């Protein structure tokens, strides 16, 4: 299986293969053997290159939160499908910090589904735009409140134009 980790606005690709109860993780240049055993719901024994660690990990839709030696790390990890969605929605950054909605490509704003001051949920439709003769629904990646709507219906936009600002709840 391929996974993608977001790093500095681009994706690093890794191939993960399970063999004999251990994982082989390769970036195409190096391969690491990872022995991961689940101890309970969120706690794991992790052995990489014969070094053992006890970790706490929680997987979200687009990230894994890992605590190792009382240090927390948030690692954006995407499947191939989620990687494509992130590219279409206009960003490779960690979606928890996405407060500005940018146009993913040049197009025409067909419909604005929200208004300033409106409370929104993650996954809620925000804008419908036409690009390359297709309708694209842009959804919120976070819960919050619409702070500012910077576009109008029937307005042409270019890639990375700022469409909306969201105030995180």
What does 72-129 look like in DSSP terms, one character per residue?
EEEEEEE-HHHHHHHHHTT--S-GGG--EEE-SSSEEEEEE---TT-EE-TT-EEEEE
Residue 48 included in any domain: yes
pLDDT at 100: 84
pLDDT at 158: 92
**How many domains does the chain contain in total?**
2
pLDDT at 121: 87
* CATH number of domain containing 114: 2.40.50.100
Domain hosting 6: range is 2-78
CA distances from 99 to 124, 164, 169 (A): 14, 8, 11
Same domain as 107, residue 55: no
Sign of the C-alpha dihedral computed for residues 88, 89, 90 and 94 taken in this order:
negative
The residue ranges of the chain whose pLDDT is under 50 are: 92-97
pLDDT tens digits, residue range 47-93?
987 888 889 888 776 678 888 876 777 777 777 777 776 666 655 44
DSSP-derived pairing of the beta strands 71-78 and 156-157: unpaired
Taking the whole predicted model, whether its pTM rises above 0.75 is answered as no
DSSP 155: -
* CATH number of domain containing 37: 3.30.700.30
Residue 91 included in any domain: no
Residue 24 included in any domain: yes
pLDDT at 88: 65
Q: How many whole angstroms from its chain centre is CA 103?
A: 16
């Amino acid at each position: 299986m391929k996974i993608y980790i977001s790093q500095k606005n681009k994706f690093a690709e890794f191939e993960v293969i399970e063999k004999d109860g251990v994982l082989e993780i390769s970036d195409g240049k190096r391969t690491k053997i990872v022995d991961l055993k689940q101890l309970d719901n969120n706690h794991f024994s992790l052995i990489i290159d014969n070094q053992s660690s006890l970790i706490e990990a929680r997987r979200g839709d687009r990230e894994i939160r890992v605590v190792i030696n009382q240090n927390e790390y948030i690692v954006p990890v995407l499947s191939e499908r989620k990687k494509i969605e992130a590219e279409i929605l206009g960003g490779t950054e960690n979606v928890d910090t996405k407060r500005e909605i940018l146009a993913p490509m040049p197009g025409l704003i067909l419909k604005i589904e929200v208004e300033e001051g409106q409370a929104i949920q993650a996954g809620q439709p925000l804008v419908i735009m036409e690009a390359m003769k297709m309708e694209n629904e842009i959804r919120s990646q976070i819960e919050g409140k619409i702070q500012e709507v910077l576009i109008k219906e029937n307005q042409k936009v270019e890639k990375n134009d700022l469409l909306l600002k969201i105030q995180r709840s």
